Chain A
Amino acid sequence: MKAPPLEQSPELVSLRRVLDESAAVPVLLFFATGVLWLLAGTVFGLLTSLKFDMPDWLAAIPALTFGRLRPAHLNAVNYGWASLAGAGCLLWLTSRLCMTPVRLRGGLIASVILWNLGVLYGTGAVLLGYGGSVEWLEYPLPAAAMIGAAFLLFAASILQTFRMRSVQHLYVSLWYTVACVVWFPFLYVAANLPIYSGVVHGAVNWWYGHNALAVWFTPIGLALAYYFIPKVIGRPIYSYYLSLLGFWSFALFYNWNGIHHLVGGPVPNWLQTISIIASVLMVIPVMAVAVNHHLTTVGHFRHLRSSPTLRFTVFGAMCYTAVSFQGSLESLRGMQEVVHFTHYTVGHAHLGVYAFLTMILFGAMYYITPRVARWNWPHPGLIKLHFWLTAGGISIYVIAMCTGGILQGYAMNESVRPFAQVIDLTRPWLIARSASGILITGGHLVFAYLFAQMLIHAGPRRETAPWEEAAA
């Protein structure tokens, strides 16, 4: 695709080179360790799933019992993979959008090290039986403190780079980036304070669990989608005003959603109700983003074929719309009566953190890595394979878990059905989920292989130098 001539001016090309060089070391460190956690987390996840199908397999090893593998999976993929890869993407993005080199790079190196030690300590602790049993907050306090400190170093770098910006215009992606590095530390500290008990602790748990998505993961995904969709297609975002409406309604409504995880539980009714209302109001920011992204893409679908970045990003952006509408519906009392406590919730969670966020992270990494590693992706065929294994895998995953979950929910709500029948009913869906997990694992192995080749500059040298182009 021919990029607009302005984008290709020699000054801009050499400025971009300076920016990418400033970002290279920290970004590659965040990416590389993120990919390692992706692999570890995938293994934990696949084992967790297989445990449902074969409960007597590896049953005598305490560290590999279901109840430890599951939180190890959740924490490794969220605080390891998605957070590290997301942080790397945001660093590069901030430098590009502020047109200034990445600042506080020494602090970033310390941040990566501390972050990884925190995740290693925390995940090890969970596997060895020292997990806290509070979903999303299982890590022991020292591990959480390490991750918190690492996050502050990362946030300081983003804010300092932002302060030194040499541009007037603040693009939408920057709003989300700056907001999330300010939001997350407050959230993480407030939730990890060891002062709660009883039902209030339950409320804090889900205020946090949902907000980890609201103020950290979703802003990453949206910042990247807002950047890469117009960038790759080569036309501006459809509407600036929609972006503005999307951002502020997102900021207002999303962090009131958490208590919809406790609908029907022993928390005050009014509290459940306001969370349900806020969840429904999420339709506003989601529509704003969906319309904006879709109207930017429409008529340019041919780029999906040539650009892996766009293919992953558009898949992710579509899943954002899907998961958000699903979430608004799911929070309603009638729906919660059936699907709360079932595998449906797990399907929904993966539609969010995987089909939306992780796919967008893959897309962004396909764009960023060649520019910071100064090497082109070898084997375009393998990139396609990676896409189809993960996109196919996660689609099967979500369909299996949501269908199985609905059946499970209805069966559980038929009081005459013995519980054993409910278990039998879910079995085939859980097997389908394990099969999808094998596809996804395959996709991750392909991606890790490609990424390793980029780091060591292996594979066939391809002619075009991507960092000289405006578009992928």
Chain B
Amino acid sequence: MGEMGESKPIAIHRDWCKGCGLCSAFCPRGVLVLNLGKVEIQNSENCIGCGLCERICPDYVIYLGRDIYG
């Protein structure tokens, strides 16, 4: 499930996204944006791995990558 990229600190399961905008509104680094009503990762290198998106997404779309989560 999702694309658990090696270098990306977060992974998304985009099919489940309902486009509520909570992750994009609260991500402190502007990593998550909505495109055509679904979440997209932009500039993943800016991600600090705070995990806020993983906690706030009501639809369980976003996961901190295993590399960071450890």
Q: Are these two chains actual partners, yes or no?
A: no
Measuring CB to CB, which residues of chain A are less than 8 angstroms from any residue of chain B?
A: none
Measuring CB to CB, which residues of chain B are less than 8 angstroms from any residue of chain A?
A: none
